[in-house]
Amino acid sequence: MSKQPIGIFDSGVGGTSIWYEVHKLLPYENTVYLADSKHAPYGTKTPSEIIRLSLKNTELLVQKNCKLIIVACNTATTNAIQTLRKTYNIPIVGIEPALKPAALQTKTKSIGVLATKGTLSSNLFHKTTDLYANNIRVIEQIGEGIVGLIEAGKLHSETMKTLLKSYLNPMLDANIDCLVLGCTHYTYLIPILVKLLPQHIKIIDAGEAVAKQTKAVLTHHKLINTTNDYPSITFYTNANTKELKALINPSNTFKVTYLDF
């Protein structure tokens, strides 16, 4: 059982930021990654569409014999994880904007959250905000257009910089000292954000926490792969393989395969 792969999915290439953290912490685990780039972005879709797409991805990973699923997408987690957990009898780990650590760390009592429309309008996000950030000013900003640019390989474009500045300025005016990245695509923005933001602003990303949670859940279910063999690592995309390769594959180590799903 433990040799079965961990299945990871996202609306596109962004969830590879989670895959990296998981692979770093659990280097012997076999993994299967699905980039549903054909249907990206999820963030502008209705909750029922997001649920339908999340079920489709999970079903495919279950067919691929995965022992645990990581929903490497805040939008899919906040809209669909309850349905996925009700539908499938295997452990499912998700990701949502890291409001709790931000609320604990802020000194100005003002934090920024950059996420998709689908995440910011979800019931789960509202619940988490009420629970952890009740007495804190939360500046919510929809990252309209960011996922599309990253999917199109335009991460380092001038358009991206201009867009980010327009999203960050109201947060800076509100004196935030923590910026929560509420979308797995946004992890790839960190080098750009570091240049755009004053030094004292902490950028908070939940990738490492998801990897730790995955390890804890695998351990709890006695599902850790105890062999020390080089793992099987498979990336599938239902769009052009080029963008996914560019993000994960600078040295051509991992194979990216086109799959229609």
User: According to the binding rule CB under 6 A, does residue 183 interact with ligand DGL?
Assistant: yes
Edge-to-edge, what's the strand order for the sheet holding 6-10? 92-93, 68-71, 6-10, 31-35, 233-237, 256-258
Size of the site for ligand DGL (CB under 6 A): 18
Angle ∠(156,150,174) on CA atoms, nearest 5: 75
| 65 dihedral zone (left: phi>0; alpha: psi -120 to 50; beta) | left
Instruction: State in angstroms the smallest separation of the CB of 115 from ligand DGL.
Output: 7
x/- track of binding to ligand DGL for residues 146-165 (CB under 6 A): -x------------------
Choices 34-42, 56-64, 202-210, 225-233 (CB under 6 A): range interacting with ligand DGL = 34-42
Q: Which two tokens stand for residue 258?
A: 């086109």
**248 touches ligand DGL by CB under 6 A:** no
Instruction: Answer yes or no: 66 catalytic.
Output: no
Q: How many CB atoms lie within 10 A of CB 247?
A: 22
Q: What is the DSSP letter of 203?
A: E
Task: Find the shortest distance in angstroms from Cβ 77 to ligand DGL.
Answer: 8
Binding characters for ligand DGL, 185-224, by CB under 6 A (x = yes): x---------------------------------------
Q: 32, 183, 201, 218: which is the annotated catalytic residue? A: 183
Stretch that binds ligand DGL, among 56-64, 106-114, 125-133, 183-191 (CB under 6 A): 183-191
Which of the stretches 60-68, 103-111, 179-187, 189-197 binds ligand DGL when contact is defined by CB under 6 A?
179-187
Kindly tell me which residue out of 57, 58, 79, 119 binds ligand DGL, with binding defined by CB under 6 A.
119
Report the residue from 5, 7, 14, 207 that binds ligand DGL according to the rule CB under 6 A.
14
| C-alpha dist (Å) from residue 3 to 35, 65, 71, 76, 248 | 22, 10, 20, 26, 23
DSSP bridge partners of 23: none
Stretch that binds ligand DGL, among 22-30, 37-45, 166-174, 252-260 (CB under 6 A): 37-45
CA distance 132 to 121: 17
Which candidate, 62, 101, 85, places its Cα nearest to that of 207?
101
Q: Is residue 183 within 8 Å of 14, Cβ to Cβ? A: yes
CB atoms within 10 A of CB 240: 15
Which residues in 41-100 contact ligand DGL (CB under 6 A)?
41-43, 73-75
- Reduced to 3 states, what is the DSSP secondary structure of residue 217? helix
Catalytic member of 73, 98, 120, 248: 73
Selected from 7, 8, 9, 10, the binder of ligand DGL by CB under 6 A is 10
Which residues bind to ligand DGL, rule: CB under 6 A? 10-12, 14-15, 40-43, 73-75, 116, 119, 147, 183-185
Active site residues: 73, 183
